[in-house]
Structure 1
Amino acid sequence: MASGSAIRGSRVGAGPMGEAERGDAAPRQRITFWCANGHETKPSFASDAAVPETWDCPRCGLPAGPDKDNPPAAPKIEPYKTHLAYVKERRSDADGEAILNEALAKLRDA
């Protein structure tokens, strides 16, 4: 014998919801974007919303633009720099030598 409720498998609020319950949907527009790999993406926007210049391609992650023949270029990725590389950008070898000699002099005096 089956036990349980006669409306088993349903929950409060379940069922088809139509436009009458949710209200009218905002007018939409579909804009086509293409990335440098030739992938096509068609996100939809509200008709009164500002459309962005670029859109990230969901397949490869590159930026996509509305012009199929002239898609945006891939961003240039800077390699990881160590702390020493940043220091060498700010200081010359002569500056580094002077700072080292000053630090060694303080250690010797202590």
Structure 2
Amino acid sequence: MADRSLRGMRLGSQSLQSEEGVEFSPRKKVTYRTAEGTTFEVTFAAEADVPETWESPKTGQEGRLVDEAGELVQSETAEAKAPRTHWDMLLERRTRAELEELLQERLEYLRARKGQHKIGA
């Protein structure tokens, strides 16, 4: 008998919980504009840092943040520092001459090891 009462219900399509007594966190809507000129809104938590760019959920194009006056928000970030490479970090700790010496030692070690495997095979 219980099976019959469930036949008319669509499982997974509706929540059985009520939103009564639920307090939502404060939110804000911001607008983004794509290069084509189309706009879309994204909802963020009120205290969230809003990114300057966001991908449109409909078109997948990147949109830039628009202020209340409808103007594109200018980037506040100053010229970003180039990311440090592994080579840059090595040069901070050792001189080029030291690195060349280490390279030679490692190459000699690897060549000697390779030669040992050929002899034993």
Shorter-chain-normalised TM-score: which range?
A: 0.3 to 0.5
TM-score, normalisation: structure 2: 0.43
The structure with the greater share of residues assigned to strand is 2
- The structure whose RCO (Cα within 8 Å, separation 6+) is larger is 1
Question: Which has a greater percent of helix?
Answer: 2
